[in-house]
């Protein structure tokens, strides 16, 4: 009897030992894996970020590291005085109010069309998604030719309707041209949306069938609410992305020999283009960084508003 107890205790100790060694090796493994993560996080992200906040409060111009002057928040004040900064943000919003909803609605429409498995759906999924895998630079090169004045595709189409050819990359049409080009990649979200739609339990639709609901009712009463969390994420990402709009205008409407420092014409001169000009052309690093943090604060504010209003329009399952 005693022997059994001792044996029992021994095995208990053994179990605890295994568990302990398991825990210990877990801790060891975690920190072994995470050491490089932490080191390089500090080196390539934390340090530059802190540094970036600091230089936004100095007069750093690229050469004067030895005698930096701390200027407090005056760079931030300048953002609101600068005759280009605020108008360029308004310009970006002007582009965004068209592209963000248009892209989102198109993408949703495509996803609803492609969610069911019908014959040929695979090919359509591929074709809808394909434009969004093409590198932005290639897209810009392609669309520049499409928009060319002499016999470009869009002017051909205008001619077919008996209209005069226009300069698509000129002052009057470049915003439209940019928006059309951006809408070409609207299919980029279909795969995610389809995945979300497929996760909706079938019994909801079965119940709707019994009630005699039509396809439209099912779409608006079941599918869309069930993927509203996905739509919410996509909308938020799209807004953030649009505020940072930089490359497309430069690539499409800038002179091609000048790289990313090319200045696109006014209607598509966005906020971040202005930042880029300040930093890499005028070498006003301090001011440029202050501008970056201003847009970052705007993004934080928008995210906050989205999160706070989420409960009114996003369906979430209560666990």
119-148 residues in contact with another protein (CB under 8 A) are 119-120, 123-131, 133-138, 140-146, 148
Residue 292 in contact with another protein, rule: CB under 8 A: yes
Residue 70 in contact with another protein, rule: CB under 8 A: no
With CB under 8 A as the contact rule, the residue among 13, 199, 217, 281 that binds another protein is: 199
Ramachandran angles phi, psi of 153, nearest 5°: -55, -45
Window 228-257: residues binding another protein (CB under 8 A): 240, 244, 246-247, 251, 256-257
Q: Which residues share a beta bridge with 70?
A: 58
Residue 194 in contact with another protein, rule: CB under 8 A: yes
Write the CB contacts of 22 (distance below 8 Å, at least 6 apart in sequence): none
Residue 212 in contact with another protein, rule: CB under 8 A: no
C-alpha angle with apex 13: 12 to 15, nearest 5 degrees?
A: 65
Q: How far apart, in whole angstroms, are the C-alpha atoms of residue 202 and residue 112?
A: 15
Select from 46-54, 81-89, 167-175, 307-315 the region that touches another protein (CB under 8 A). 46-54
- Identify the three-state secondary structure at position 230: helix
Supply the minimum distance, in Å, between the C-beta of residue 1 and another protein: 30
Cβ distance to another protein smaller for residue 97 or 127? 127
Q: How far apart, in whole angstroms, are the C-alpha atoms of residue 184 and residue 286?
A: 36
Residue 110 in contact with another protein, rule: CB under 8 A: yes
Residue whose entry in the numeric block shows the structure tokens 């050491």: 35
C-alpha angle with apex 191: 186 to 192, nearest 5 degrees?
A: 95
With CB under 8 A as the contact rule, the residue among 192, 222, 224, 302 that binds another protein is: 192
With CB under 8 A as the contact rule, the residue among 1, 4, 27, 117 that binds another protein is: 27
Nearest Cα to Cα of residue 230 among 255, 199, 260, 204: 199
Supply the minimum distance, in Å, between the C-beta of residue 5 and another protein: 25
Supply the minimum distance, in Å, between the C-beta of residue 59 and another protein: 14
């Amino acid at each position: 009897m005693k022997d059994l107890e001792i044996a029992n205790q021994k095995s208990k100790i053994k179990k605890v030992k295994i568990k302990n060694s398991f825990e210990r090796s877990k801790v060891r493994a975690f920190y072994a894996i995470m050491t490089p993560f932490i080191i390089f996080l500090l080196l390539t992200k934390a340090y530059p970020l802190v540094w970036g906040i600091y230089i936004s409060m100095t007069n750093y111009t690229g050469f004067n590291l030895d005698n930096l002057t701390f200027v407090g928040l005056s760079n931030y004040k300048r953002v609101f005085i600068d005759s280009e900064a605020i108008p360029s943000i308004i310009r970006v919003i002007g582009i965004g109010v068209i592209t963000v909803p248009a892209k989102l609605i198109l993408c949703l429409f495509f996803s609803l069309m492609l969610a069911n498995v019908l014959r040929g759906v695979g090919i359509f999924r591929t074709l809808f998604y394909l434009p969004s895998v093409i590198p932005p630079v290639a897209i810009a090169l392609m669309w520049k030719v499409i928009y060319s004045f002499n016999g470009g595709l869009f002017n051909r189409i205008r001619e077919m309707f008996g209209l005069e050819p226009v300069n698509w990359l000129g002052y009057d049409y470049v915003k439209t041209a940019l928006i059309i080009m951006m809408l070409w990649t609207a299919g980029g979200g279909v795969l995610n949306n389809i995945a979300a739609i497929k996760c909706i339990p079938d019994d909801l639709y079965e119940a709707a069938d019994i009630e005699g609901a039509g396809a439209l009712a099912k779409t608006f009463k079941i599918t869309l609410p069930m993927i509203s969390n996905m739509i919410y994420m996509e909308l938020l990402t799209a807004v953030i992305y649009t505020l940072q709009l930089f490359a497309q205008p430069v690539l499409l409407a800038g002179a091609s020999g000048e790289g990313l420092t090319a200045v696109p014409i006014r209607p598509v001169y966005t906020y971040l283009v202005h930042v880029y000009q300040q930093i890499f052309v005028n070498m006003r690093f301090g001011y440029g960084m202050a501008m970056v943090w201003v847009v970052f604060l705007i993004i934080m504010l928008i995210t906050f508003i989205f999160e706070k209003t989420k409960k009114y329009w996003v369906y979430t399952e209560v666990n």
